[in-house]
């Protein structure tokens, strides 16, 4: 099985068996605790005339929120089941959803021919790919951005691994996370120290980066919601 098929199979299995029960999707935070905090960081860096692509949009929770703030938003996913959920549960007149494998730069190019240069929002997707696939994913992103688009990326940071280790030791594995592993999804790792290698300065300009967190739906015995340490980065293609 090619690595791309591995993602397609495991994520389709994950999304096609989701029931919509509260707490089931570990990262599916209310946008007021997710995309809204992101928007405050990236809004002023993006040309609002361009379309916004939510790459690896899952069930569209954050995409739907972003559609309130951009003229046109496209949520893209490897999983047709996720696209179907997004279309049903997170519809908006200016939001559309479609299947796109971020590991297919040719498909990204075809989308770019439709949309023109686009802004890209990407929350908690890159670390789901194995490190060997990062270069290809970034080629796709580059094609979607073109010369004028801006990428906002929010990803787990180097503090995430010790955070999960501590969480599991203290309270046991969160059910939402256990469900991910049940579908043979094996998250990789990416962190803030990889930015320069992933987005080399001869191709990309880093506009801003800093610490952040990924809000989850997992409530701890303390009553707090687990927030996974993360970092954000705002990048564009280098203008030569």
**Is the Cα torsion angle 218, 223, 227, 229 positive or negative in sign?**
negative
Given a contact cutoff of 8 angstroms between Cβ atoms, the answer to whether 50 and 119 are in contact is yes
42 binds ligand SAM (CB under 6 A): no
Residue range at the interface with ligand SAM (CB under 6 A); choices 76-84, 144-152, 157-165, 226-234: 76-84
In the complex with ligand SAM, the residue whose CB is nearer, 101 or 117, is 101
In the complex with ligand SAM, the residue whose CB is nearer, 49 or 181, is 181
Among 39, 53, 56, 111, binds ligand SAM (CB under 6 A): 56
- What CA dihedral angle connects 191, 192, 193 and 198, to 10 degrees? 80
Count the helix, strand and coil residues of the chain and give each as a percent rounded to the nearest 5: 40, 25, 35
In the complex with ligand SAM, the residue whose CB is nearer, 77 or 117, is 77
Token readout for 27 is 């990262």
78 binds ligand SAM (CB under 6 A): yes
Torsions phi, psi of 156, nearest 5?
-60, 145
Residues 123-142 that bind ligand SAM (CB under 6 A): 123-125, 128
152 binds ligand SAM (CB under 6 A): no
d(CA 57, CA 54): 5
In the complex with ligand SAM, the residue whose CB is nearer, 205 or 219, is 219
Residue number with the smallest Cβ distance to ligand SAM? 58
Residues 91-120 that bind ligand SAM (CB under 6 A): 101-103
27 binds ligand SAM (CB under 6 A): yes
Q: Are strands 73-77 and 118-123 parallel, antiparallel or unpaired?
A: unpaired
> Helix axis angle, 134-145 relative to 105-115, nearest 10°?
10
Q: List residues binding ligand SAM (CB under 6 A).
A: 7, 11, 27-28, 56-58, 61-62, 77-79, 82, 101-103, 123-125, 128
């Amino acid at each position: 099985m090619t690595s791309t098929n591995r993602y397609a199979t495991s994520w389709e299995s994950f999304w096609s068996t989701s029931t919509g029960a509260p707490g089931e999707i570990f990262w599916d935070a209310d946008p007021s605790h997710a995309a809204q905090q992101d928007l405050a960081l990236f809004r002023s860096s993006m040309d609002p005339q361009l379309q916004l692509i939510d790459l690896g949009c899952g069930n569209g929770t954050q995409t739907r929120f972003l559609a309130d703030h951009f003229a046109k938003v496209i949520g893209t996913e490897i999983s047709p089941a996720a696209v179907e959920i997004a279309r049903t549960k997170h519809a908006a007149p200016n939001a559309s959803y479609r299947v796109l494998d971020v590991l297919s730069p040719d498909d990204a190019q075809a989308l770019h021919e439709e949309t023109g240069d686009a802004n890209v929002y990407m929350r908690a997707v890159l670390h789901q790919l194995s490190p060997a696939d990062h270069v290809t994913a970034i080629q796709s992103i580059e094609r979607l951005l073109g010369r004028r688009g801006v990428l906002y990326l929010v990803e787990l940071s180097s503090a995430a691994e010790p955070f999960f280790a501590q969480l599991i030791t203290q309270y046991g594995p969160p059910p939402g996370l256990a469900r991910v592993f049940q579908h043979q999804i094996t998250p990789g790792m990416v962190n803030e120290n990889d930015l320069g290698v992933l987005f080399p300065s001869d191709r990309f300009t880093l506009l801003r980066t800093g610490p952040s967190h990924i809000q989850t739906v997992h409530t701890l015995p303390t009553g707090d919601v687990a927030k996974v340490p993360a970092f954000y980065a705002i990048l564009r293609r280098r203008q030569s």
